[in-house]
Structure 1
């Protein structure tokens, strides 16, 4: 069963079909929030036996020479592993990033990193692609000495990106705030990237230099266009919200993870609205809200009656597209459908 959504870019009212099974919730006006998916996962798994480690290295040498595995350069020029290779997953256009053989610590008291690390995108692979990956690892890398159930119960998920797609809203219209608590470290910043035309394309509401941002909100439709891919939902505007976690827990316990989306508020104030003044003044006011916050923007209005009128209009226009609890109700199903569980 599909539903028809019509809220696209550039005022487009062309209906687009979306599978109702993908939708977490929606409301009148052509908006839908899709169910969460696992957009990226990284897993570390130790191989304590020196003989098994050598067997894996021998396989990697042969697979690289045969070009069954392709060399991969570190994204930032650095890697904690001696081997960094890509396995193409048939029919998906995706790869498994396989890393092995961390360097021996200079200090004997320092524990070495786990011998193996895997990174891939379960959402793009689908359950069948993840099954292929699991079987390939078992038959080639793990040498029948270990099973996927060993990885799922003893390995550690060191990176987990959970994504939610918002259809029918535009990135530049959203008011986003993050509730991540200060931890006494370097101060958090708010980082945004705009197009040359001034439209917001990517937002990190909580950013710290040298650390991974806990949230990223970006124009997924524009990202697909920039990388040469077709829009996934036709003319519909398409925003992606990613929660980027470092759970450091086994796959089998991910269902117990706390809801990361509770740390965000996402509001679209561009719904039905009767601006207290001209439409362009309302747009300017919203820009001020995005740059300085709602309370500050209201405080800068010159008269009390104007502040009251603007606040009332804002409250009427405000529609909270972000129902974090409702989204997380679908997390167990997302985990089950990912193919990651043994």
Structure 2
């Protein structure tokens, strides 16, 4: 059965056209009728990028013929040294098309490679051989949304080229931990310039704008200034990023998913040391943040006047912008300023009950299921049978 589509219409363009886009209804968290002609749609949260660390401790203990701790530790050391060497060999092989040395560097890991996913605009980042013995021997980072369910199978194929018949891909995840997970919420039919983000702990907002299309990105810095040059180089960047997703897709040469409809992404990056199997218990990632939109004002309080005022306030500051508004207009709308913005876009009550739905539909669901499985089911008949294949 095909998904039921939810149709939204954007404001008329200067040419008189009304852009439209269809959204699968099961992706919609809620919508807001801002005016009789404008409906803002908020989608369910999605996992954008996740970074995982792997020790394979449970799998190696299960596969090691002896149960003695010293034997298990020796097996683990031998196994991972073999993996480190195999990664280097595969990445250095000129005939190997799907495993390449990466241009990115992950701190405290000596080797980082790109695992290419055929037929998809997706790459997983694999880092091995840590500089400290206390660190996990393997780190894997990938875009969950780009990878897709077929991408998980391709990751398993890349792993089988590195680890030849020792520890199966599905057995790696019982001890896997999350180091970072990026949770994104998409807002449709609302320009990024009309989205106001507030957090009392924020003291600086750094924004990037295009001369042709206007505001595109907001980064937020917390009240912990760099002592040397707090106005030029604030160091405490928050875990929140807001950007124009439609413009990002165009910049990468891709067709915007929702055509001409405005598409803003709000993304929170959570640092963690939690086991992967606890991902369903992740708490609401936007705690402390308010996401507000312009309200619809009755005549004579034309909304465009107040949009101009708030655009000016962002650049000049509130008091300086207020001085630019003619007094007769200010008197009409001053008492409505506290009602002009409504915080009904993203909040815990509206989007976080859908977190379980996100996981059920996500491509990471398969790995998440493996992380909660029994090794007897993942590796049937293989207990105590680990024998290394010489590279």
TM-score (normalised: structure 2): 0.73
Any residues of structure 2 matched to 1:1-342 within 5 Å, and which? 1-7=4-10, 10=13, 12-28=17-33, 29-46=38-55, 49-64=76-91, 65=93, 66-67=95-96, 68-74=98-104, 79-103=107-131, 105=132, 111-134=133-156, 136-137=158-159, 140-141=162-163, 143-145=165-167, 147-151=169-173, 153-179=174-200, 181=201, 189-197=204-212, 199-206=214-221, 209-210=234-235, 213-269=238-294, 271-274=295-298, 281-290=305-314, 306=330, 309-312=333-336, 315=339, 318=342, 320-338=344-362, 339=365, 340-341=367-368, 342=370
SS of the residue corresponding to residue 286 of structure 2 reads helix
**Deviation at 1:283?**
2.7
Residue 123 to residue 9, structure 1, CA distance change in 2 (3 Å)? farther
**Deviation at 1:114?**
1.4
SS of the residue corresponding to residue 214 of structure 1 reads strand
Residue 146 to residue 278, structure 1, CA distance change in 2 (3 Å)? closer
Alignment partner, residue 108 of structure 1? none
Residue 96 to residue 277, structure 1, CA distance change in 2 (3 Å)? closer
Q: Which runs of 5+ in 2 are unaligned?
A: 57-72, 225-233, 371-391
Mapped to 2, the partners of 1:121 and 1:115 lie a distance apart of 21
Mapped to 1, the partners of 2:299 and 2:221 lie a distance apart of 30
Report how many aligned residue pairs link the two structures: 326
Residue 296 to residue 264, structure 1, CA distance change in 2 (3 Å)? farther
SS of the residue corresponding to residue 41 of structure 2 reads strand
Q: Show CA shifts across 1:96-131 (max 9, x none).
A: 11111012x4xxxxx542111100011111123124
Contact 1:298–1:310 (CA under 8 A) maintained in structure 2: no
TM-score (normalised: structure 1): 0.82
Mapped to 2, the partners of 1:61 and 1:120 lie a distance apart of 20
SS of the residue corresponding to residue 262 of structure 1 reads coil
Contact 1:122–1:130 (CA under 8 A) maintained in structure 2: no
**Deviation at 1:217?**
0.6
Larger radius of gyration: 2
Question: What's the RMSD between the two structures over aligned residues?
Answer: 3.2
